[in-house]
């Protein structure tokens, strides 16, 4: 490690709140699917900033759109209309089939808004404030108090309890466990269409279909969290579109802005017209012209550059190559995932393999202790997959 990089790391450790155990690298710039540290070392990135940089780094059209907006207008507040927000909402409605959009600054904020909308919808029906929400075990919805309260991992919640209350947890892909938690106070069921942090678990079509039917029968709202698995990552713009199981409320973020902090929750007209009203919810920065210029350009480039077509072309090849590693190494138990959101499940902690890969110029990340997660930019090629597999294979063989 160079003296300069060491100095920056030491300063960070003395100045920043230590809520992350960071890798000992200071990243400096990116281009395409590669990142470079302060020493100029090149890394193939199969993490894309937690599934954020779908278009790859240093995309000129994206960069130019942001530069143009910076020179025009960055922020005005939501007391006024702005063109980028209107255009972004129009395009987001088109690709999602939803009816109403609320722009936030992050995925966690989108989940917060979704929870509030669900509870307000239920409140307007009977005037009660004791409604319950069913979430899934092993889920991850964010770190703010509401999002944390529906995150199905006790270790994330225990120091911050009691949370928002009235939350029950069921098991992913186990409809009977959901049914066992439903009662007259249930107002919403929330789940990730593909669990990310919890281990790259896709919901099954049968599970989603049964939950949708249950929600329709009892006027319970279905909230699908598409923050990590949405925006083309599974080969559909949103993962639920594969099954045609449309939510009442949907959250999105991460690749929505491809690097600019922005999220959104979307509602169907039934919920949009019968939940949050003026004064119920707000945000200073959410939906500002800069963030929405990013969203608008991202959606344009997804269409122009046939991003989802590329996902569907490369995903099968990635699966094939990962399956090869499963067959080759006894300590890799299985592969699971959807599209360019994949996980390799090990019988041992994966941290040593991820560290070895980083040293060899490959950025990977875990999903829990025993799973390596692959969420690369959606512009990767089969050649990039070959390069990744070559590096990872060497690391697996040596460690």
Range scoring the smallest mean pLDDT among 19-28, 126-135, 136-145, 242-251: 19-28
- Count other C-beta atoms under 10 Å from residue 283's C-beta: 15
Residue 151 · residue 160 · CB < 8 Å? no
User: What is the phi/psi pair of residue 377, to 5°?
Assistant: -55, 150
- 309: Cβ contacts below 8 Å, ≥ 6 apart: none
Q: What distance in Å separates the CA atoms of residue 375 and residue 145, rounded to the nearest whole number?
A: 26
Indicate which CATH number applies to the domain containing 183.
Answer: 3.40.640.10
Range of the domain at 261: 61-304
The answer to whether residues 190 and 154 touch, using CB atoms and an 8 Å cutoff, is no
Picking from 4-8, 55-59, 63-67, 370-374, which range would have the lowest pLDDT averaged per residue? 4-8
Mean pLDDT score of the chain, rounded to an integer? Answer: 97
Res. 5 pLDDT band, cuts 50 70 90: confident
* Element of type H or E holding 356: helix 351-359
Question: Contact at 8 Å (CB) between 292 and 88?
Answer: yes
Report yes or no: 286 and 78 within 8 Å, Cβ to Cβ.
Answer: yes
**Which of 263, 282, 304 is the C-terminal boundary of a domain?**
304
Same domain, 68 and 48: no
**CATH at 46:** 3.90.1150.10
Q: Are residues 246 and 368 both part of a single domain?
A: no
Tally of domains within the chain: 2
Both 25 and 50 in one domain: the answer is yes
Residue-wise pLDDT for 96-120, tens only, equals: 999 999 999 999 999 999 999 999 9
Please check whether residues 273 and 161 belong to one and the same domain. yes
| Alpha-carbon gap, residue 347 to 330, rounded angstroms | 9
Same domain, 238 and 324: no
Same domain for 124 and 220, yes or no, is yes
199 and 72 within one domain: yes
pLDDT value of residue 3: 83
Closest CA to 255 of 308, 304, 319, 205: 308
Out of 253, 269, 304, a domain closes at 304
What predicted TM-score, i.e. pTM, was given to this entire model?
A: 0.96
What CA–CA distances, in Å, run from 367 to 66, 215, 324, 352? 32, 30, 20, 14
Dihedrals phi, psi of 202, to nearest 5 degrees: -75, 140
Indicate if 141 and 253 belong to the same structural domain.
Answer: yes
Residues 164 and 69 reside in one and the same domain:
yes
Same domain, 110 and 156: yes
Residues 141, 267, single domain; the answer is yes
Do 339 and 393 sit in the same domain of this protein?
A: yes
Of 167, 147, 187, nearest to 271 by C-alpha is: 187
The percent of residues above 70 in pLDDT, for the chain, comes to 100
The confidence band for 1, taking pLDDT boundaries of 50, 70 and 90, is confident
Among 280, 304, 328, the domain-final residue is 304
Chain segment 342-393, per-residue pLDDT in tens: 999 999 999 999 999 999 999 999 999 999 999 999 999 999 999 999 999 9
């Amino acid at each position: 490690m160079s003296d300069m990089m060491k100095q920056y790391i030491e300063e960070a450790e003395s100045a920043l709140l230590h809520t992350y155990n960071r890798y000992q690298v200071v990243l400096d710039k990116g281009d395409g699917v590669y990142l470079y540290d302060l020493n100029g070392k090149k890394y193939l990135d199969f993490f894309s900033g937690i599934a954020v940089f779908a278009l790859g780094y240093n995309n000129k059209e994206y960069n130019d759109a942001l530069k143009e907006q910076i020179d025009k207008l960055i922020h005005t507040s939501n007391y006024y209309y702005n063109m980028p927000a209107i255009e972004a909402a129009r395009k987001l409605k088109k690709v999602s089939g939803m009816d109403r959009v609320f722009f936030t600054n992050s995925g966690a904020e989108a989940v917060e808004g979704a929870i509030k909308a669900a509870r307000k919808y239920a409140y307007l029906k009977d005037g009660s404030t004791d409604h319950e929400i069913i979430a899934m075990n092993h889920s991850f919805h964010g770190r703010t108090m509401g999002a944390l309260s529906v995150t199905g991992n006790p270790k994330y919640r225990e120091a911050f309890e009691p949370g928002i209350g009235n939350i029950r947890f069921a098991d992913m892909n186990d409809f009977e466990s959901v049914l066992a938690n439903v009662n007259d106070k249930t107002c919403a069921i929330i789940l990730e269409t593909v669990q990310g942090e919890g281990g790259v678990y896709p919901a099954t079509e049968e599970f989603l279909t049964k939950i949708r039917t249950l929600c329709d029968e009892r006027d319970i709202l279905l909230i699908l969290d598409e923050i990590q698995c949405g925006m083309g990552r599974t080969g559909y713009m949103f993962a639920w579109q594969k099954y045609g199981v449309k939510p009442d409320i949907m959250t999105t973020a991460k690749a929505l802005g491809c690097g600019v902090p922005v999220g959104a929750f979307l509602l169907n007209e039934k919920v949009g017209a019968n939940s949050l009203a003026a004064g119920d919810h707000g945000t200073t920065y959410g939906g500002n012209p800069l963030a929405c210029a990013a969203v608008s350009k991202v959606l344009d480039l997804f269409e122009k550059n046939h991003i989802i077509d590329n996902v569907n072309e490369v995903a099968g090849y990635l699966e094939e190559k990962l399956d090869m590693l499963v067959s080759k190494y006894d300590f890799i138990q299985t592969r699971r995932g959807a599209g360019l959101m994949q996980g390799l499940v090990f019988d041992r902690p994966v941290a040593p393999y991820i560290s070895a890969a980083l040293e060899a110029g490959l950025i990977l990340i875990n999903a829990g202790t025993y799973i390596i997660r692959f969420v690369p930019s959606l512009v990767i090629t089969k050649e990039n997959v070959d390069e990744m597999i070559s590096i990872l294979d060497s690391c697996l063989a040596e460690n």
